[in-house]
Amino acid sequence: MNAFLLAALALVDAAFAGFRAYTGRDGRIRKTRRALLAARRGLAVGVPGLLLSTAVAVSLLFGAADRVARYAELDAAAHRMLLCYAPYAAVVVLSLACYLWGPFRAGTLAVVVGLGPLTLLRPLVVLAGALAAAWGSLPAAPVSAVAAVGVLLVEPAVHRRWYAEPV
Partner 1 sequence: MQLLEISDLVVDHDPGTRERLPVRRGDVVARLTAAGDRSGARIAAGLACDDAGHLDPLAVDRRLVAVHTELQRLSEELRLGDRIAELLGPLLAVIRAAGSADGPLRVVDVGCGLGYLVRWLAASGVLGPDVDLVGVDFNAALVREAERLARAEGLPCRFVRGDAFALDEPATVYVSTGVLHHFRGSDLDAFFAAQATRGTAAFCHFDIAATGLAPIGAWVFHRARMRDPLGRHDGVMSARRAHDDDTLLTAAAHADGLVPLMYEPRGRSNPFCTTLRPVIGVRPELLSPLRAALGPGPSGRLVGRADAEAAVRREASAGGGAG
Choosing from 119, 127, 141, 145, the residue that interacts with partner 1 (CB under 8 A) is: 119
Using left for φ > 0, alpha for ψ between -120 and 50, and beta otherwise, residue 30 falls in beta
Choosing from 1, 4, 30, 62, the residue that interacts with partner 1 (CB under 8 A) is: 30
Per CB under 8 A, which of residues 82..111 are in contact with partner 1?
104-109, 111
For partner 1, give the closer residue by CB, 11 or 111: 111
The residue range among 24-32, 36-44, 52-60, 67-75 that interacts with partner 1, by the rule CB under 8 A, is 24-32
Q: Does 24 bind partner 1 (CB under 8 A)?
A: yes
For partner 1, give the closer residue by CB, 71 or 99: 99
Q: Do the Cβ atoms of 125 and 85 come closer than 8 Å?
A: yes
Residue 113 CB, nearest distance to partner 1 (Å)? Answer: 6
For partner 1, give the closer residue by CB, 25 or 40: 25
For partner 1, give the closer residue by CB, 83 or 112: 112
Q: Does 35 bind partner 1 (CB under 8 A)?
A: no
Q: Does 5 bind partner 1 (CB under 8 A)?
A: no
Which ranges of 102-115 does DSSP label H, i.e. alpha helix? 104-109
Residue 127 CB, nearest distance to partner 1 (Å)? Answer: 17
* HEC per residue, the chain: CHHHHHHHHHHHHHHHHHHHHHCCCCCCCCCHHHHHHHHHHHHHHHHHHHHHHHHHHHHHHHCCCCHHHHHHHHHHHHHHHHHHHHHHHHHHHHHHHHHHHCCHHHHHHHHHHHHHHHHHHHHHHHHHHHHHHHCCCCCHHHHHHHHHHHHHHHHHHHHHHHCCCCC
Which residues in this chain contact partner 1 in the complex, by CB under 8 A?
23-30, 104-109, 111-113, 115-117, 119-120, 159, 165-166
